[in-house]
A and B are shown apart, each in its own frame.
Chain A
Amino acid sequence: MKLTCLLFLCCIVGCSDTAEQKVILEPWLVDEAKQRGFDFVWESGAGDFPYNPEIISGGVALLDVDGDEDLDIYMVQGGSVTNSEQSAFPNHLFLNDGNGNFTNVTNSSGAGDTHFGTGVTTGDYDNDGDVDLYITNVEENVLLQNDGTGHFADVTAIAGVGDPRWSSSAAFFDMDKDGDLDLYVANYIDWAPDIERECPAKSGVLDYCHPQAYRAPAKDTLYRNNGDGTFANVSEKSGVHAVWGNGLGVVVGDVNDDGFLDVFVANDEMNNQLWINQGDATFIDDAIVSGVAVDSNGAPKAGMGTDFADVNDDGLLDLIVVNLSGESDSLFMNQGGWFTDGTPRSGLATISRQYTRFGTGFRDLNNDGYLDLYMSNGRVQMPDGKQPADPYAEQNVLIKGLPGGKFVEVELGGVEHTSRGIAYGDVNGDGAMDIVVLNRDAPAYLLINQNPEAGGFVKLQLFNEHGAPAQDAVVRFTLGDRKVRREVRTGGGYCSAHDPSLHIGIGDASGITGVEITWSNDSKQSIEDLHAGEARTVHQAK
């Protein structure tokens, strides 16, 4: 009898279908890289002996390099961390023809930095009205100055931003409200090929080491823009050398709404940092007391990609950090400058644990007015058991946002690769957010959004007083009966930079009303209502 009861219970419990919680909507994201002329493989250079940058690196940027009002693609390249013949592995620049078809213009652009690259961030550091590139590398980082036509010059030495350590994510932001972009650079570990260690997998085959194997977390770097094309390293003076970890993800936002931009750094298997801007170009790490250093189980997780957004319409910036398999994402809900771990209630705790997540970011991917998440995944160590062709490959995940800061997984299916950085932007101008995904030793994806729910949208492109895409502006508006806050930001995610244009899904609403822009210098500007399908450009008053 007992056994019968047990078997019955097995059926009830064992057969309960967790998949019923998943949404199946196809096709949503279709990889059109090949037919659109976007051909890029991130070369890890992996050989018999594993070097850590081969498994960690790879970023993407979506930006308009030539001012023709469409999104071009910049791909950071790897190569070989030990072979000096790196010239064969330049970063790549692809120009958009305006219809979402691409041409590789690397050779003529000057953007083909040949260091072993980790990531990229974008911003108009010299206030000349075009977007420049900052590349994070395993060795010296590189600043590429845009001449406005998509041609770049290496100005690293002049600018003084060639951090020689292994950097990961970086972010341009105006920390001191002096009207120019400063630069935060997260460094991962103090690493060089000759300190690489032997870390065998369970099978005995050499595998990539856990970051703690090196016991060498690297201090981050903060550069203050001098306003004359040069930067000063203010890492010590500003306080950001007070604590440090294995930094991977960086995102900037004003978490306490005091008018100054704060910086969150996701660290790999160490406490995260939340650098609270004191308003005088100094920062204090408040991650522990703010509740974002560790999760509610008390554990520092393997923080990778990260992003800020107001997911529950309470007007405050919430924070996501994605982590290693076996660890859930952390969705920290802002309570007014401090956070509670809202992961369990959000639904993300069960969705996320199966994969090692890197790239991510909040965007409305189905134009229903709620922020969704795409996560690019891939292991960092081999699984035990049978080894597939790419032992690190994992399925990427699409997570649909619901009202009240809840999330539900969308069944994606499709091929598996080892994915790293992602960038969001509408590359074909059809009003749906597309995604570029970098894959390790496999073709990058250009995921064209089919907008299966056919939601409406409005688009807002903000330009600062210098004519460059605005950074770190906040837009508040009314959508139906909701008061919504959205951020204009290129950073966030993992080692990558997004198009900062504000793409607002509105579902079946006729538009948005009561739109107010808060520019990064705190000036406010109200604009007329936007109607469904409308794209509007707004310039900051000089």
Chain B
Amino acid sequence: MALMSQKKRSEGKGMRTAGIVLTILGTGISLVVVLVLLRSTGPTAIRPALVSDPILRPTIQAYADAVDANPSAPKPRMELGMTYEGANMDELAEQTYKQYVELYPERVIGWYRLAIVQSKQGEIEKAMESLAIGTTVAPPKMSAPHWQLALWYIDTGRLEEAKSQLDIAHVKRPNTVQVQIARGRIALEENDPELAIEILNKEQLISAVPDGYVYQLLGRAYRANGEEEKSRKAWSRAGEKKPTWSDPWTQLVVEHVVGLNAMRQEIMNQMQLNNMPEVRRLVAEYFTYDKDNRVVRRLDASCDAKQGEVAQALMKFVTLIKEDKTDTVTMVLLAKLRMRVNQFQTPTEISITKEILTTVLEISPENKQAPVLLDALIQE
């Protein structure tokens, strides 16, 4: 009886062990299945209610269709998110990146982009939470998530946490400008202007950071250190723009900026590069979507002028001014063109050019180009 019960207990124990093993196996398999299912299905693409931009609309639609065709593929979903981000459709970008990080929590790119769009929307706490997760999955040589998080920590007064992230960033990539800037800012926040000056007053750093931002910080540091004259000098060399810190994906996001705004920007870029055939091509394409845009019409006329088609350019400028009699930008362009063309150098024609520039100053007394051009005309 005792043996039988012992055997039963033994059998029972074995069965329980087997049961536990099976349960663990089952749970594991279920987890794997859930994860596989999650990845193989994935949520449907986030789509906007209405997009009027004729270039942006089909681009979004193409990426969203690609997401729905293959919900487990990370690339189309990231590209859709970046397209929203590039178009400043931050809420849609945030929703899309949230889907991405749920599917691929081990990929830092999702957490980083999510944090950036959350920050753009003023949700700095959420941005820091997202990026804090991102830092845990950042590759060994990638410092950007750490210094970006540190900069946000500084903005919100969490200096010790900022220092920890900067230490990690420094180990991953020593002496990046962002780490030096952040350390300078911490020194300022901690009322240690001497240390801030020591960190920031380096020619290499000053030239590496755009828009004279280091001079701003030095201006603050010198002032805090009681060196008012040095502070004034530093501020006089400082820029008035906020520096933008590029991260490993900035260029990718830029490449996803599409739409009429992006096309206008590209026309201007090509104009600056003097690539007139490309300007012509882009303008022609632009006009198929929006033939009334005054900026592009102005660029079109400028292109004519640059290519020697003066009469055509003049006609286009004059038409633009007739439509908007306060368009001082076109007036200045017209005056400049007239100053270049020989037939407009007679006293009568010069007085007309002067009249155009005087009108510009009447409409916009602060216009900086008109007085310079007028001076040039008077000297002639």
* Residue positions of A touching B, CB distance < 8 A: 2-3, 5-7, 9-10, 13-14, 16, 18, 190, 194-195, 200, 202-205, 216, 271, 288-289, 291, 293-294, 296-300, 325-328, 335, 338, 340, 343-347, 349-350, 353-355, 383-386
Q: Which of B87, B88, B129 has the most CB of A within 10 A?
A: B129
A316 to chain B, nearest CB (A): 15
Q: Which of A6, A18, A216, A343 touches B137 (beta carbons < 8 Å)?
A: A6
Kindly list chain B residues whose C-beta atoms are within 8 Å of the C-beta of A346: 157
Residue of B nearest to A290 (CB): B223
Tell whether, in the assembled complex, residue B157 and residue A349 are in contact, meaning their CB atoms are under 8 Å apart: yes
Bound complex: CA A26 to CA B147 (Å)? 40
Residue of B nearest to A341 (CB): B220
Residue of B nearest to A345 (CB): B157
Kindly list chain A residues whose C-beta atoms are within 8 Å of the C-beta of B91: 383-385
Tell whether, in the assembled complex, residue A294 and residue B216 are in contact, meaning their CB atoms are under 8 Å apart: yes
A6-B106, A202-B88 are known; give 19 further A-B pairs, CB within 8 A.
A3-B35, A3-B105, A6-B133, A10-B105, A195-B326, A203-B48, A271-B240, A288-B219, A289-B228, A289-B235, A298-B213, A298-B217, A298-B239, A298-B242, A300-B240, A340-B220, A345-B157, A350-B125, A354-B123
A233 to chain B, nearest CB (A): 16
A48 to chain B, nearest CB (A): 15
Tell me, yes or no, whether B124 is within 8 Å of chain A by CB: yes
Residue of A nearest to B367 (CB): A215
Residue of A nearest to B54 (CB): A204
- Given known A-B contacts A325-B121, A353-B123, A384-B90, A289 and B105 have beta carbons under 8 A apart: no
Q: Which of B125, B133, B364 touches A10 (beta carbons < 8 Å)?
A: B133
Tell whether, in the assembled complex, residue A203 and residue B50 are in contact, meaning their CB atoms are under 8 Å apart: yes
A303 to chain B, nearest CB (A): 14
Tell whether, in the assembled complex, residue B133 and residue A353 are in contact, meaning their CB atoms are under 8 Å apart: no
Bound complex: CA A120 to CA B241 (Å)? 33
Kindly list chain B residues whose C-beta atoms are within 8 Å of the C-beta of A350: 124-125, 156
The 10 closest A-B pairs by CB, nearest first: A204-B52, A299-B242, A353-B122, A344-B157, A354-B122, A326-B122, A385-B91, A298-B213, A325-B122, A345-B157
Bound complex: CA A293 to CA B137 (Å)? 39
Tell me, yes or no, whether B211 is within 8 Å of chain A by CB: yes
Bound complex: CA A534 to CA B132 (Å)? 52
Tell me, yes or no, whether B160 is within 8 Å of chain A by CB: no
A-B contacts, CB under 8 A, total: 129
Q: Which of A5, A13, A271, A346 has the most CB of B within 10 A?
A: A13
Can you spell out 22 A-B residue pairs with CB atoms less than 8 angstroms apart? A3-B105, A3-B106, A6-B105, A6-B137, A9-B133, A10-B105, A14-B133, A190-B364, A289-B223, A293-B240, A294-B240, A298-B216, A298-B217, A300-B240, A300-B242, A326-B120, A326-B121, A328-B124, A345-B189, A347-B157, A385-B48, A385-B91
B292 to chain A, nearest CB (A): 10
A269 to chain B, nearest CB (A): 11
Tell whether, in the assembled complex, residue B120 and residue A289 are in contact, meaning their CB atoms are under 8 Å apart: no
Q: Which of A202, A296, A343, A353 touches B220 (beta carbons < 8 Å)?
A: A296
Produce 1/0 per residue, B50-63, CB < 8 A to A: 11110000000000
Question: Which residues of chain B (175-223) have a CB below 8 Å from chain A?
Answer: 185, 188-189, 211, 213, 216-217, 219-220, 223
Kindly list chain A residues whose C-beta atoms are within 8 Å of the C-beta of B232: 289
Tell me, yes or no, whether B154 is within 8 Å of chain A by CB: yes
Q: Which of B89, B223, B224 touches A202 (beta carbons < 8 Å)?
A: B89
Question: Which residues of chain B (45-91) have a CB below 8 Å from chain A?
Answer: 48-53, 87-91
Q: How many residues of B contact A (CB 8 A)?
A: 55
Bound complex: CA A329 to CA B136 (Å)? 30
A520 to chain B, nearest CB (A): 28
Q: Is the interface of A mostly helix, strand, loop or mixed?
A: loop
Tell me, yes or no, whether B11 is within 8 Å of chain A by CB: no
B254 to chain A, nearest CB (A): 18
Kindly list chain B residues whose C-beta atoms are within 8 Å of the C-beta of A13: 129, 132-133
A133 to chain B, nearest CB (A): 30
Tell whether, in the assembled complex, residue B124 and residue A340 are in contact, meaning their CB atoms are under 8 Å apart: no
Bound complex: CA A53 to CA B263 (Å)? 31
Tell whether, in the assembled complex, residue B189 and residue A344 are in contact, meaning their CB atoms are under 8 Å apart: yes
Tell me, yes or no, whether B231 is within 8 Å of chain A by CB: yes
Tell whether, in the assembled complex, residue B123 and residue A204 are in contact, meaning their CB atoms are under 8 Å apart: no
Bound complex: CA A338 to CA B71 (Å)? 56
Kindly list chain A residues whose C-beta atoms are within 8 Å of the C-beta of B349: none
Bound complex: CA A519 to CA B122 (Å)? 42
Tell whether, in the assembled complex, residue B223 and residue A338 are in contact, meaning their CB atoms are under 8 Å apart: yes
A234 to chain B, nearest CB (A): 19
Q: Which of A204, A205, A346 has the most CB of B within 10 A?
A: A204
Bound complex: CA A16 to CA B123 (Å)? 14
Q: Which of A294, A298, A345 has the most CB of B within 10 A?
A: A298
Tell me, yes or no, whether B243 is within 8 Å of chain A by CB: yes
Tell whether, in the assembled complex, residue B326 and residue A194 are in contact, meaning their CB atoms are under 8 Å apart: yes
Kindly list chain B residues whose C-beta atoms are within 8 Å of the C-beta of A328: 124, 155
Tell me, yes or no, whether B333 is within 8 Å of chain A by CB: no
B327 to chain A, nearest CB (A): 10
Tell me, yes or no, whether B361 is within 8 Å of chain A by CB: no
Kindly list chain B residues whose C-beta atoms are within 8 Å of the C-beta of A294: 216, 240, 242
A123 to chain B, nearest CB (A): 30
